[in-house]
Each structure stands twice: as structure tokens, then as C-alpha cells.
Amino acid sequence: MIVAIDGPAGVGKSTITSLIAKKTGLLYVNSGNFYRAVTFFILKRGLSLTDEQEIINTAEKLDFKLVNGRLFVEGLDLDDELHTDIIDSHVAAVSSIIGVRNVVNNALHTTTKNLDIIVEGRDITTVVFPHADIKIYLDASVETRAKRRWSQGISDLSFKEIKEAIKKRDDIDKNKKEGSLKISSDALYLDTSDLTIDQVCEKVVGIIKNCNKSIQEK
């Protein structure tokens, strides 16, 4: 089974998808971490962030593996290294490069082949897994998303700076040449602005259980 969760930056996809994975036994896959890993190595190696071909060449040579749900790249467990302000400020630009998107999409398919997964990202339901068994688009206002990010306490930015960064990220994501942020016509749309994380999880878990029941009855 493939459950695909889509939506903009800061909507809580990672937190919600991770919790649902624990409740359902599906393998949690954070597609954004693949792009963050590419950005991590670009920065670590001091490469130019304006040289698209160099970025593509670097991405093509990276070895991606999922081990117990954690992302290993070049043998390194990077899960705890990818959510920093500097990576946040550059990952949208890196992920907008078509060649990088092709590399990451291939890596996502390769690392999850024959697995039951719940995967989240910004073009997961429209481009990466268009034939997913379940597609859900999570949304929330910019104000709500900024508050959620601020409350995590993992950023050195002010609330106002976080809000502006989210607006900028939305603009980039919605206007990408490939893999832009869109709502799939067959995705269930959930506005989470006034919902708690538990309420969102309850709704999605219910959808997954109903889908499993339908599959078993066929």
C-alpha cells in the first residue's frame, strides 16, 4: 500500500505522517529529506549553489538508502542533520532543479520498492506516486504554519522571519517548472488550521483503515 501526503511547507506533514506510520505500521518516508540531503552535501562540500549542473552531478552520485525508516546517504545517517536554518533557506532552490527532482524521484521509487509506505512531500500525489492507493492534501494558513514552526523551538529565526520564509517557500514551490505544489484532483483535501495533530491523525487513520477493508473485501 502507498499512502501519499501532500501539502505546503510548515503544515505539519512530517509530524503527522510519522505519527500515522506508528499507528498503522506503514513505513514512514519523508521525501523532503532526500532534497535536504542533496542540499546538505552541496553545502558541506562548499559547492556553488548557482551552478545547476554541478548540483545535478553531485545528486546523481549520492547513494540513498532507507534503514529502519531512517535516511542514510553515502553511508551517513542524516535524519537528525537536515532541519537547520541554512538548509531551510536553500533547499527550495535546490529542489526546483529538474535534474535533481529526477534523481530524487528515482531514489524514492528504488528505496521503497515493494514496501508498504506512507510518504509525504510537495508533489507526492501528483508526480512521484500518482497511482498511490490514498492521496491526502494537508493545508493550513500561513499564520498557522508559522506558529507551528515557531513553537517547535528549532529555529533561530523570529516569528516574523519564519512567516516570511514560509511565504517565500510557498511562492517557489507553486512556481517550479516541474513538481510544483498542486492539489491532485483525486486527493482528499484537509484544512488543518483549526485541527489538532491528534484530530488530523484520527481522520487519516480512519481513511487508511477503510481503504484496507475495501482491499481485503475484493
Please give the pLDDT value at position 17.
Answer: 93
The pLDDT of 11-33, averaged and rounded, is 92
What pLDDT does residue 215 have? 54
Domains observed in the chain: 2-207 (3.40.50.300)
What mean pLDDT is predicted for residues 197-218?
81
Give dist(CA 123, CA 177) in Å, integer: 12
pLDDT of residue 187: 93
φ, ψ of residue 208 in degrees (nearest 5): -65, -45
pLDDT per residue as tens digits for the range 97-113: 999 999 999 999 999 99
Predicted TM-score of the model (pTM):
0.83
> What type of residue is 74?
E
Q: What is the mean pLDDT of residues 57-86?
A: 92
Strand-by-strand arrangement of the 76-77 sheet:
64-67, 70-73, 76-77
Exposure string for 55-91, b = 16+ CB within 10 A, e = fewer? bbebbeebebebeeeebbbeeeebbebbbeeebbebb
Give tens-digit pLDDT for 31-50: 989 999 999 999 999 999 99
Residue 213: pLDDT band (50, 70, 90) is low
Q: Report in angstroms the alpha-carbon separations of 174 from 27, 148, 153, 184.
A: 28, 21, 27, 13
What are the pLDDT digits (tens) for 137-192?
999 999 999 998 888 777 888 999 999 999 988 888 888 777 778 899 999 999 99
Show the 3-state SS of 4-38. Answer: EEECCCCCCHHHHHHHHHHHHCCEEEEHHHHHHHH
Parallel, antiparallel or unpaired: strands 76-77 and 70-73: antiparallel
pLDDT at 218 over 70: no
